[in-house]
Amino acid sequence: MKAGRALRCAPPFADAPRHGARGEPSLSLHAGGPPSAKALSQAPGMPNTYKNFIGGDWVGAASGQTFQTTNPADSTEVVAVYPRSGRSEAQQGFAAAGQAFPGWSAMTPVARGRFLSHASQILAGRKAALAQLLTREEGKTLAEATGEVQRAIDILRFYGGISYTLGGQTLPHDLPGNLLYTRRDPLGVVALITPWNFPVAIPTWKAAPALLCGNAVVIKPASASPALTCELALALAESGLPKGVFNVIVGDGAAFGEEVVSNPDVAAVSFTGSRPVGTSLYRGLAHRMVRNQMEMGGKNPTIILADADLDLAARLVVAAGFGLTGQACTATSRVIVERSVLAQFTDKLLARTHAIVVGNGLKDGVTMGPAVNPSQLDTNLEYIRVALSEGATLLSGGHRLSDGDFARGWFLEPTVLGDVAPGSRLACEEVFGPVIGLIPVDTFDEAISVANGVEFGLSASLVTRDFAKAMRYVDRIQAGVVKVNQISTGLALQAPFGGMKASSTDSFREQGVAAFDFYTRSRTVYLDYSA
């Protein structure tokens, strides 16, 4: 296998070989941390106990209520215990952020960036332990989790370094003796709301630029996998970040949303999650005209043209459809294939699908983990039932795995459905699991039309050797992430990211320097020194 090909098929946050796990602490996550943090982690195999992080202190819910997460591969294992926070804790978080904002925003970007670089190093020292924790709580394989933790480390390193460039623009004025320039100012207190499927990459790609730009942050991670956001808070605290600059509230999403919508101190909201929640939050924010970005679901196609390298095509589809258990917003769920190569492609796809090893992501050799929880597993099974009732044919998988080692987890066979009609529910609605539908088409134009024929527009891929068709696809495909001969998942942290159509408010892009546009306000300064 060529190195280039291997890279293209690697999981989205594939771990770079140079970052070995040797020499890292086994699971003493918080050795050397401040006294308040040390109590958070227990011995290996024991549940961690986390609290909210407000104003630099770890505090429980006012009600004293807690909830726990369990391992999706073994639901008898409690992974962590959290406060069941409501609206009052959100209020405290925003108040703490409001108090911290003046001091934090008065620092230079370079000074702020140092905390991010330092936090990157702290996370790097804990990479192996954090990846294990991520796998135990969310279910993805250890290789995928290690790649994701490395991504968070790299994001912090990127924004720490680029802090030296955060600034505005100098423009020529019409008149001599005049200076005309723009400056970037922070917005104030920003609320970040994140999903469970990338529990450290997404919080980090929102929080790092938000902080670098001088904002104070209150983040609410998804309740299925909050551990890594708490660990991010710990690393930032240990980096010396001033108290109240970064706050974490764990608990009820709706209660947090109510506070976000009505609290006048919340200057901006960055949300990643499902379309229904994003839509309702967007409506709630409209009356205050609060700056926001909503990044939501996808129904991402990979198009296989007749001239494609079909081995490559099968490899890309399996990696993008079944990698991360299909639980990626950019996962391939529709495979649009020119009919003349359908049979040949299907054989190759099924051979690769049958080679997938489903199991506990901590075990060697496992290449696909479980669904995150029973509810997601039920959704997956329901969509398979619906697809079959709508005329699709089951080509592989389709069943829950529940014998032996699988009995205590939420495992599904990787599933391939054939003869999927473009207008069917399976072809139009996000499943968020390892379920792929094959949609045969007769021409390139029909392929583009089917690909664009859904409400979402997040990511798309085309497999072809025809340069002209590739460029026509780039011109016409309705997706924020446009791939050619690559997996539909996988992002460069330095590049802008966001969707189109129902996948996004399409207001601002995330990641890279594009994130600065969201997290700062631009002001224009006119200076006359001609007198």
CB under 6 A: which stretch of 14-22, 123-131, 277-285, 399-407 binds ligand NAD?
A: 277-285
CB of residue 466 to ligand NAD, shortest distance in Å = 29
213 is catalytic: no
CB nearer to ligand NAD: give 109 or 326. 326
Cα-Cα-Cα-Cα dihedral sign, residues 442, 445, 448, 453? negative
> To 10 degrees, what angle do helices 201-212 and 109-125 make?
160
Contacting range for ligand NAD; rule: CB under 6 A; set: 33-41, 171-179, 188-196, 315-323: 188-196
- Whichever of 313 and 320 has its CB closer to ligand NAD, that residue is 320
**Interaction residues for ligand NAD, span 497-516 (CB under 6 A):** 499, 503
Contact 517, 171 (CB under 8 A): no
Q: Using CB under 6 A, which residues numbered 421 to 450 contact ligand NAD?
A: 430, 432
> Considering beta carbons, is residue 335 or 481 the nearer one to ligand NAD?
481
**According to the binding rule CB under 6 A, does residue 42 interact with ligand NAD?**
no
Residue whose C-alpha is closest to residue 273's, from 156, 158, 191: 191
Q: Which is nearer to ligand NAD, 207 or 222 (CB)?
A: 222
Which residue is listed with tokens 């045969």?
A: 440
Q: Identify whether the C-beta of residue 225 lies closer than 8 Å to the C-beta of residue 136.
A: no
Stretch that binds ligand NAD, among 46-54, 141-149, 274-282, 471-479 (CB under 6 A): 274-282
Q: In the set 313, 329, 362, 384, which binds ligand NAD (CB under 6 A)? A: 329
Q: Which two tokens stand for residue 512?
A: 């890279």
Secondary structure of residue 64 in the 3-state scheme: coil
Draw the binding track, 453-482, toward ligand NAD (x: CB under 6 A; -: no contact): -----x------------------------
Q: Which of 9, 213, 230, 329 is catalytic?
A: 329
Binding mask 334-373 for ligand NAD (x = CB under 6 A): ----------------------------------------
Structure tokens at 495: 């590049």
How many CB atoms neighbour CB 257 within 10 A?
Answer: 22
How many Å apart are CA 195 and CA 225, to the nearest integer?
8
Asked if 519 and 507 count as a contact pair (C-beta separation under 8 A), the reply is: no
DSSP classification of residue 339: G
Helix %, strand %, coil % for the chain, to 5?
A: 40, 25, 35
The helix (run of H) or strand (run of E) holding residue 426 is helix 425-428
Residues in the chain: 531
Residue nearest ligand NAD, CB atom distance? 257
Tell me whether residue 69 or residue 464 sits nearer to ligand NAD (CB atom): 69
Q: Which CB sits closer to ligand NAD, 187 or 277?
A: 277
Look up residue 326 and give its DSSP letter.
Answer: G
Which residues does the annotation mark as catalytic? 329
Judged by the rule CB under 6 A, the positions of this chain that interact with ligand NAD are: 193-198, 220-223, 253-254, 256-257, 272-274, 277, 280-281, 295-298, 329, 430, 432, 458, 499, 503
